[in-house]
Structure 1
Amino acid sequence: MNMLKTTMLLAALTALFMALGYTLGGSGGAVISLLVAAGMNLFTYWNADKIVLKMHNAREVDAQSEPNFYGLVANLARRANMPMPRVYIVDNPNPNAFATGRNPENAAVAATTGLLSMLSRDEVEGVMAHELAHVKNRDTLIMTMVATIAGALSMLANFGLFFRDSERNGLATLLAVLIAPFAAMIVQLAISRTREYGADRTGAEMSGKPLALAAALAKISGAAQAIPNPVSERNPSAAQLYIVPTHISEMFSTHPATENRIAELEALAEQMGSGPRRSALDPLSRG
């Protein structure tokens, strides 16, 4: 079912890309757009992790350079019976984390220095379990591919804004500049919001500490909105990669409301018997 959804969503984005190409260049533009979209999908499939990591200037770490953080990820991967992913740190005060890669055997997880300095060990463990859950659920490939194609749609629309013949059909210009990028964003939202809930649940079960993840979300969601993130500012479609949204309006958020995610995790904590129900906005143990 996950593969079917992935195929349908990529087909929808490719169709939007072709429609936008048609408005700018007729049937020839549509053919060129199809070839470009196919090439992008193929390239992104094999290079998803490299694209995202380079975009963030991430540096790889190991058991020698970052024993605590690396060991935490290794313990989670072992507990989940998953291949050990490559581990990265991003020098960025914005508190966030992401996962990338085309499959669990070729995956990478990363956290920003802002996140590592803000959270307790249990909370960091909850966040990284969420990212490993994206890998386990095979969300990372589609998230990266959608970010790439949605970004290309926006660039193509901007190209049309500057170079479209103003004497020609105004409706086509409106489609090229406004409707296609908005439609791509709607597809993007449909992907991310459902998958974030799934990763929260899988990650909480993996770590055994749903309240720690809830507390982490409560802490970093506000800070991620307030502290600039140069990567998402340059490429807004990258926002779907993060555990919490960066500074964009709620209407265009790629994630469910943090309060709703916290409520789901608190309910899961009750089911798991990992503690009494309480608001994750209240202080939790730092242990």
Structure 2
Amino acid sequence: MAGSKFIPDRGLTNRMVLTMGLLLLVYIIFIAALIVVGMPWWLVLVVVLGFAAFQYFGSDKIAMYSMGAREVTPEQAPELHAIIDRLCAMADMPKPKVAIAQTDVPNAFATGHNEKNAVVCATTGILRRLDNAELEAVLAHELSHVAHRDVMVMTIAGFLGIIAGFLTQMGLRFVAFGGGGRNNQNNPALIALAVVLVSAIVWALSFVLTRALSRYRELSADRAAAYLTGRPSALGSALTKITGDMARIPSNDLRKAEPFNAFFFTPATSKKGFSISTLFATHPPMEQRLAQLGDISRQLGQGGGPAGAVE
């Protein structure tokens, strides 16, 4: 986040480093375990490295295509570009690409593995519903993800979960077709069980780690946007308005958007209240986000801006 005027967040940085370190350790063990139970080392490495390269360099294109988003020029979306220009000047950061997704789901997201190819996208649904102050607050939230580099970390972490699921299927097929080697041919069921067990543990660990990081990074982005714009109430208003309108969106549209919840400003779901799924949610509860914004409003109202980094 060098050079950015978004409020620094050491807590987020520490969590990203810890999450990536733990995931790296988990996947080294995962690869070793798959080799031990019978998969050729070269095949495991080829799949892992191939998926990693594809996900890392193609994540922004995948997200844009899946959401039906397209990059827009200042001539095509002058008001949207004007807000992004103003925020980037305030934050002293490079301007990302700007895109619009043709969907009534009111949301926004940032994607890209570095600042040079970062994209900030707003849906037509959110552009219709928010006023300029609310939209500016939401876009500041998304720009903070780019400045904090947590988009890149979430992209990498997300691909590891995909790898676990893919290698599980691959391992089962490998065993089913007798590829476990002479020493393993007499125990294909045992090998298959080992592959499934190891993969399930890895997937579960990856899921929990990335979900915990995702919830914290949303709170961090809310803080950064509120302090940058100086209007936490606008962000709270946008959050309340979007969450309330989400229940009016057709379920089919929400289901299409749900795979990208981790990257959205707020989850594309109409579910309310507590359920077991909230324990593994990509975003913190709206009440927690609004409470944090309320605290920031009181600080700013008392003339007490951010003093140093967030712990």
Q: TM-score range by the shorter chain?
A: 0.7 to 0.9
1:201 Cα shift? 0.6
- 1:39-67 deviations in whole A, cap 9, x for unaligned? 33344443432232223221111211111
> CA-to-partner distance for each residue in 1:139-161, whole Å, 9 max, x for gaps?
11111222233233334445567
Q: Distance in 2 between matches of 1:138 and 1:195?
A: 10
- Find out whether 1:168 has 2:190 as its counterpart: yes
Q: 2:306 maps to which residue?
A: none
Inter-partner Cα distance in structure 1 for 2:192 and 2:113: 40
Match 1:128 to one of 139, 142, 163: 139
* Preserved contact between residue 100 and residue 140 of structure 1 (Cα < 8 Å): yes
Against the structure 1 CA distance between its residues 162 and 253, is the aligned structure 2 distance closer, same or farther, given a 3 Å change threshold?
farther
Alpha-carbon distance in structure 2 between the residues aligned to 1:162 and 1:132 = 43
Matching of residue 219 in structure 1 with residue 241 in structure 2:
yes
Tell me the secondary structure at the aligned position of residue 98 of structure 1. strand
Residue 34 of structure 1, CA deviation: 3.6
**What residue in structure 2 maps to residue 106 of structure 1?**
117
Answer yes or no: is the 8 Å Cα contact 1:94–1:114 preserved in 2.
yes
How many matched pairs? Answer: 270
Equivalent of residue 118 in structure 1, options 129, 133, 140 = 129
Query: 2:184 — aligned with what?
Result: none
Q: CA deviation at 1:240?
A: 0.9
The higher relative CO (CA closer than 8 Å, separation ≥ 6) is in: 2
**Distance (Å, rounded) in 1 between the aligned partners of 2:53 and 2:221:** 26
The answer (yes or no) to whether the contact 1:49–1:108 under 8 Å persists in 2 is yes
Give 1:82 deviation, angstroms: 0.9
Q: Distance in 1 between matches of 2:132 and 2:72?
A: 17
Say which of 81, 94, 97 aligns to 1:70.
Answer: 81
The percentage of aligned residue pairs carrying the same residue is 37
Gaps of 5+ in 2: 1-9, 177-187, 272-276, 304-311
Residue 71 of structure 1 aligns to a residue in which SS? helix
8 Å contact from structure 1 (residues 77, 83) kept in 2: yes
Letter in 1 for 2:282: T
Distance in 2, matches of 1:179 and 1:68, equals 47
Structure 2 counterpart SS, 1:87: strand
Cα 1:151–1:114 change in 2 (3 A) is: farther
Match of 2:207 in 1: 185
Letter in 2 for 1:229: L
Match of residue 243, structure 1, among 253, 265, 270? 265
Is there any run of 5+ residues in structure 1 with no aligned partner, and where? Answer: 276-287
Task: Note the C-alpha offset of 1:12.
Answer: 4.4
1:11 paired to 2:24: yes
Q: Deviations over 1:229-254 (max 9, x none)?
A: 35445xx3x32111112337323311
Go from structure 1 to structure 2 and tell me whether the alpha carbon gap of 1:258 and 1:71 turns closer, same or farther (over 3 Å shift).
Answer: same
Q: Which has the larger radius of gyration?
A: 2
Deviation at 1:4, TM superposition (A): 3.1
Is 1:273 aligned to 2:286, yes or no?
Answer: no
Whichever residue aligns with residue 14 of structure 1, its letter is Y
Q: Are residues 95 and 78 of structure 1, via their aligned partners in 2, closer, same or farther at CA, if it must alter by over 3 Å?
A: same
Identify if the C-alpha distance between structure 1 residues 59 and 35 changes in structure 2 by more than 3 Å, giving closer, same or farther: same
Note closer, same or farther for the CA distance 1:162–1:26 as it changes in structure 2 (3 Å cut). closer
Contact 2:26–2:202 (Cα < 8 Å) also in 1: no
